[in-house]
Amino acid sequence: MKRPLLFYAILFMVFLYGPILLAPLFSFNDSIFATFPLKGFTFRHYAGLATNTGLLQALEASLIVATASSIIATAISVPAAIALTRHKLPGSAAIIAGMSAPLVIPSIIFGVALLIILLRFLGVELSLWTIGASHVFICIPFAMTVLMSRLEGFDKSLEEASRDLGEGAWMTFLRVTLPLAMSGIISSLLLCFITSFDEFVLAFFLSGTQPTLPVYLFGQLRFPNKLPGMLALGSSILFASALLVILAELLRRRGVPSNSAGET
């Protein structure tokens, strides 16, 4: 029974990730055409990324937006997660459902809605600020999911013991809650960073004169001779994102007590 399930799992992974793995393969091809057989093996497409001024500016913009969005979204989500996991708030289910809306509603709907609100009602000029604000909006559900999972994963009696020994709510948070939740906070920062860095739809609608890296990559795909460099860029983003996701998951699991018998 296990062997058919293993075979199915392998086929599923190949179907899911096989097309993505073609990008790194063709990024080393010594040709502007992504076709088999490969003409040769080269690193020149990767070397060319370092001399592309437009790409470096877009990379800088994405790093700024992703860093700011991840910090702000996590900072907002920490007190919200504590409130929802430590207190029985009225309407908490509705609050959690509302915060999770960006996970189920298509980004294009939010993109159009935010574009209309910013331009017609608020008169705000499109820039990296508008992109960052929208990315905070979509990063909060990821931060809340990770932080609530971590806060529910350690013994709440430790906080109660701190309060019984005379510490106030703020010092209990600093000395007990924050250190225990630190792995979840770091994991939240990494996941939010990845989400913001890779997000395209909202950045496409709300970018001004300075595009983020995904928007820049999309624009370059119109030119056939730019395809190898964009494959190299996409492969680099793929590898970096995979490493960050793995790191975030390892940090999320770190320090979570096991419920298995015989384990400590």
Asked if residues 97 and 91 have their Cβ atoms less than 8 Å apart, the reply is no
- Quote the tokens at residue 264: 């400590």
Domains contained in the chain, number: 1
- pLDDT tens per residue, range 184-226: 888 888 889 888 988 888 888 888 788 888 888 888 777 777 7
In a domain, 240, yes or no: yes
Predicted local distance difference test score (pLDDT) of residue 66: 92
- The boundaries of the domain holding residue 186 are 42-253
In a domain, 88, yes or no: yes
Predicted local distance difference test score (pLDDT) of residue 73: 92
Look at residues 23, 3, 19 and name the one whose alpha carbon lies nearest to residue 236.
23
Angle at 227 between CA 37 and CA 65, to 5 degrees: 135
Angstrom distances, CA of residue 96 to CA of 5, 15, 83, 132, 193: 35, 33, 11, 22, 21
Q: In the chain, pLDDT over 70 holds for what percent of residues?
A: 84
Whole-prediction pTM: 0.75
Could you list the pLDDT tens digit for every one of the 264 residues in the chain?
Answer: 577 788 888 888 888 777 777 777 777 776 666 666 767 777 777 777 777 888 888 888 999 999 999 999 999 988 888 888 777 767 777 777 777 778 888 888 888 888 888 888 888 888 888 899 889 988 998 888 888 888 776 666 666 677 666 667 677 776 777 777 787 888 888 889 888 988 888 888 888 788 888 888 888 777 777 777 777 777 877 787 778 777 767 766 665 554 444 444
In a domain, 128, yes or no: yes
- Quote the tokens at residue 255: 């320090």
Predicted local distance difference test score (pLDDT) of residue 185: 86
In a domain, 264, yes or no: no
Predicted local distance difference test score (pLDDT) of residue 261: 44
| CATH number of the domain that residue 216 is part of | 1.10.3720.10
- pLDDT tens per residue, range 95-117: 777 777 788 888 888 888 888 88
Predicted local distance difference test score (pLDDT) of residue 70: 93
In a domain, 47, yes or no: yes
Q: How far apart are CA 187 and CA 146, in angstroms?
A: 7
In a domain, 124, yes or no: yes
- Quote the tokens at residue 140: 């909060």
43: left (phi over 0), alpha (psi -120 to 50) or beta: alpha
In a domain, 182, yes or no: yes
Q: How far apart are CA 167 and CA 179, in angstroms?
A: 16
In a domain, 78, yes or no: yes
Q: Is 32 exposed, middle or buried (0-12, 13-18, 19+ CB in 10 A)?
A: middle
